[in-house]
Chains A and B, each alone.
Chain A
Amino acid sequence: MSKMASPVRCVARRIFRDCTRKVSVLSTQQDTKPIYPSNSIVCRCYSNDFEEKSTHFGFETVPEGEKAERVYKVFESVAEKYDVMNDAMSLGIHRLWKDMLLHIMNPLPGARLLDTAGGTGDISMRFLEYTRTQWERQQRRAVRSRQTLSWQDISHNYAPSHDQGPVESTAVVCDINKEMLKVGKDKAEKMGYSSGLSWVVGDAEELPFADDQFDVYTIAFGIRNVTHIEQALEEALRVLKPGGRFMCLEFSKVSNPLLSRLYDAYSFQLIPVMGEVIAGDWKSYQYLVESIRKFPDQETFKGMIEDAGFLQVQYFNLTGGVVAIHSGFKL
């Protein structure tokens, strides 16, 4: 082994790691099967040096291999109280942010969504709600136009009708954390979203889907937890259809200095306290506010998205920059 050149050793290590990585499926629908990439194992070897590179976990520095595991543990422990804490921490404003994401996305009925790091399924459920409302609106418009019929239309009505059934939009919720998906599935059942949703366990850096599958790819409040953001962006490009849209909703930099100081004080003083009182977990929420500070700002992230190959990249600041929606197209 020691005689091999180091790039080959690196590749060999990655192959071994890829072979032992398990990807499992929790699917509620028989007909929506995620399609696996055809029998090729993608190896990525980025560098020749042998030491594990280190990355940030909040304000702490950890080896790269460890970050994913620690993020997993954080979300495993907060999964039960995740939605309650979101409402408490953002005073309910996170619902408006997510509604704005859907509004900017403006999906058509029949679109396919991949909600990465979808966790408890907030975006997917809003997507289904939006497309169903759009479909109903389209139907109502069609019916209204049929009220004043011309001779041609009346003669057409005597022909056999080729009315389609409702065009089904589907959403796939993909998350690396099984606990979050479990909570999301229970929530979906309670709210009555049984059809049109699938729940898949998968890593944003290596999605278990074939190329050119989805019309829209979203990642809401998840990309800052990914160890290699560039890989996640490349995977997003891969699974989108040509013409597909990438959308990312994430915490970002506040430009106004006064608001920034208030925001910092709120984040570091209040949020861990709320985490302790409501969820019994100070450390996870400390990680959350620190990871927001380590994420690149709007312009840098826009550059990263363009580097991955997306075009027409733009961003929208919400709540003064506390949150930003980045959008790009695969053309």
Chain B
Amino acid sequence: MLSISRPSLWLTLGHNCRLAGICGVPSRQHHGTFPENPYHCLYPGHIPTNPIQKALLAVGSGVAALQNPYRHDMVAVLGETTGHLALMKLRDRMKNDPEGYTILTERPRIRLSTLDLAHMATLPDGSFGREYLRFLEENRVTPDSRADVKFVDNEELAYVMQRYREVHDLLHTLLGMPTNMLGEVAVKWFEAAQTGLPMCIMGAALGPLRLSSSRLQTLATSLGPWALRSGRRARCVLSIFYERRWDQSLEDLRKELDIEPPPLIISATNKKPAANSEPAS
């Protein structure tokens, strides 16, 4: 049983955390001393874990996600426990970009409460905001379905992970992909090339196994290479302050980010009617 001692400075950062037994290590020495926060959480929802627990979580969540790809929480946990190096690289990319740096300091969140959907509906067709709204309506998804980050032991990296999850829907809009299996795999290939997160790479490798042969062919011939090309070339998608670009035209935004427009239009009508069928996180 490892006991990790942390400096008390980190405790004050976690003052607003919910407390119910979230420490993976028994903090007997702190019991009673800090009644508001006896556990070392760095951000709301943080559950500190040691390397053994992270390894077990990674393996367990991987198996669970493979058995049931609709368990989004398991895909999320897999991403968090395996993504440390990739998150650091992403964070550094964001820091080196002026807009990305602004995002890291201002920490915007994409949720229904922060989006002004009524205003977005009034924007002209072809603008980013209008297309995003259309995507949400056609695929019947909501930006609030993303799980909170729990197992990343660094507050800034946890925000980067959260931002990645929230930007996923926007990526669908930018790439013009629906939320059916083929669209999701295409977006995963783009993300794998862009971010290098192990969870994206695994999803990109294993996702095609569930596709029908005709879709597999589409993926292999046109969508796949396009996604990889765009992903490698494009500017870091996490560095864009989407919240301030709703009225920018979608074509403009794609050019700015160096993303090729999609080679095919895939309709959203072929998806299974499950309530949040996106296997991404």
- Judge whether A287 and B73 touch: CB under 8 Å: no
Chain A 174-212 interface 0/1 with B at a Cβ cutoff of 8 Å (1 = within): 000000000000000000000000000000000000000
- Judge whether A61 and B32 touch: CB under 8 Å: yes
Give me 23 A-to-B residue pairs in the complex whose CB atoms sit less than 8 angstroms apart, sorted by A's number: A58-B20, A58-B21, A59-B26, A59-B28, A59-B31, A60-B19, A60-B38, A61-B31, A70-B20, A264-B1, A264-B26, A268-B26, A269-B50, A273-B53, A276-B60, A277-B63, A277-B64, A277-B74, A280-B73, A282-B22, A283-B20, A286-B21, A290-B26
Contacts of B19 in A (CB 8 A): 60
- Judge whether B21 and A60 touch: CB under 8 Å: yes
Q: Interface SS of chain A: helix, strand, loop or mixed?
A: helix
With A and B bound together, what is the CA distance between A273 and B1 in angstroms?
14
With A and B bound together, what is the CA distance between A272 and B77 in angstroms?
13
Say whether A265 faces chain B, with CB atoms less than 8 Å apart: yes
Partner of A277, one of B20, B38, B61: B61
Say whether B24 faces chain A, with CB atoms less than 8 Å apart: yes
Chain A 235-279 interface 0/1 with B at a Cβ cutoff of 8 Å (1 = within): 000000000000000000000000001001100111011101110
**Contact flag A287-B56 (CB < 8 Å), given A261-B1, A268-B26, A277-B61:** no
Q: Interface SS of chain B: helix, strand, loop or mixed?
A: loop
CB B149 to nearest CB in A, in angstroms, measures 13
Chain A 102-126 interface 0/1 with B at a Cβ cutoff of 8 Å (1 = within): 0000000000000000000000000
Say whether B57 faces chain A, with CB atoms less than 8 Å apart: yes
CB A231 to nearest CB in B, in angstroms, measures 24
Contacts of A282 in B (CB 8 A): 22, 47, 150
With A and B bound together, what is the CA distance between A82 and B128 in angstroms?
46
Say whether B145 faces chain A, with CB atoms less than 8 Å apart: no
- Judge whether B35 and A61 touch: CB under 8 Å: yes
Say whether A57 faces chain B, with CB atoms less than 8 Å apart: yes
Say whether B264 faces chain A, with CB atoms less than 8 Å apart: no
**Contact flag A277-B25 (CB < 8 Å), given A70-B20, A269-B52:** no
Partner of A283, one of B21, B64, B74: B21
Contacts of B57 in A (CB 8 A): 273, 276-277
Contacts of B61 in A (CB 8 A): 276-277
With A and B bound together, what is the CA distance between A264 and B73 in angstroms?
27
- Judge whether A287 and B60 touch: CB under 8 Å: no
